Amino acid sequence: MSGDAKAGRPGRTREMILAAAMEMFAESGFHGTSLRDIAGRSGLTHPGVLYHFPTKEALLMAVLERRDEVTGEDYPTEGTTAREVLRSLVGTARLNAGRRGLVELFATLSAEATSADHPAHEFFTQRYESLRDQVAGAFTALAEDGALRPGVEPALAAIQVIAMMDGLQVQWLLDDRIDMGRALAVHLDQQVVTPLEA
C-alpha cells in the first residue's frame, strides 16, 4: 500500500503535508526545501503532495496561514481594548515558549521574505503593517486616556515592541532560558502608567 493510500482521508493527508512543510521550512527555509523533500518527510509521493498543493508557493502560503490560525486563536489582537491588545502580545510570547517549531518557522521565513522576490514578501509586509497599526492604535488609545507615560510616541512604541518580540524570539531560539514573556511584560509596563496585569 502506498504512503498516499495509508494517509486516509484527504483532510488528514493535507494536515500531514502541512505539518511536514512547517518543519522543513523552519529547518531549511523556503529555498532550501523541495516538494520532494516534504513528500518524503510526510510519507507521501511527490504527485500526492502536488494533488493537494500544486506549487511550493501555494504550500508556503498555506503554512503561513496555518501558523497565524494557531497563534491568532490563542491571543487575538483585534476587537479588544487597548490594554488587552498589549496583554495579548505578552500572552503570545509566553505561549511561544512552548511552540519552538512555530517560532523557528517565523524567524526563518520572515528573514528570507525581506527579499522582494520571495513568495511570502507581500504576506510579511502586510502582516507587519497590520500589526504595527493595531499596536499603535492601542498605544494611541492609552495616550488619549492618560494611561501612557509622558514621552512615549505611539507609532514609534509600536515599532519598538514588535522589534523586541522578534529579537526575543531569535535570542530564545539560541538560549531557551530567556523568558520572552517576562521581558516583554516588563518593557510594556515601562510604557504605561498602570502595570498591564493590574
Phi, psi of 33 (to 5 degrees): -125, 135
Q: What is the mean pLDDT of residues 10-28?
A: 90
The CA distance from 160 to 86, in Å, is 13
Q: What is the mean pLDDT of residues 158-173?
A: 97
Q: What is the mean pLDDT of residues 55-67?
A: 91
pTM for the model stands at 0.83
pLDDT above 90: residue 9? no
pLDDT at res. 80: 79
56 in Cβ contact with 34 (< 8 Å):
yes
Residue by residue, DSSP assigns 119-167 as: TTHHHHHHHHHHHHHHHHHHHHHHHHTT-B-TT--HHHHHHHHHHHHHH
40 in Cβ contact with 16 (< 8 Å):
no
pLDDT band at 1 (very low <50, low <70, confident <90, very high): very low
Q: What is the mean pLDDT of residues 83-95?
A: 93
Q: Give the model confidence (pLDDT) of 134-160 as tens digits.
A: 999 999 999 999 999 999 999 999 999
pLDDT at res. 10: 64
pLDDT at res. 79: 64
Q: What is the mean pLDDT of residues 78-91?
A: 88
Q: Cα 147–194–91 angle (5° rounding)?
A: 105
The CA distance from 91 to 78, in Å, is 14
The CA distance from 168 to 44, in Å, is 36
- Taking Cα atoms as reference points, which of 12, 119, 148, 186 lies closest to residue 197? 186
pLDDT at res. 74: 63
Q: Give the model confidence (pLDDT) of 97-119 as tens digits.
A: 999 999 999 999 999 999 999 99
Most confident of 8-17, 91-100, 184-193: 184-193
Please give the domain boundaries of the chain with CATH numbers for all domains: 1-63 (1.10.10.60), 75-198 (1.10.357.10)
Max distance between CA atoms of the chain, in angstroms, equals 68
Sequence-distant (6+) residues with CB within 8 A of 63 are: 18, 21, 22, 25, 105
pLDDT at res. 71: 74
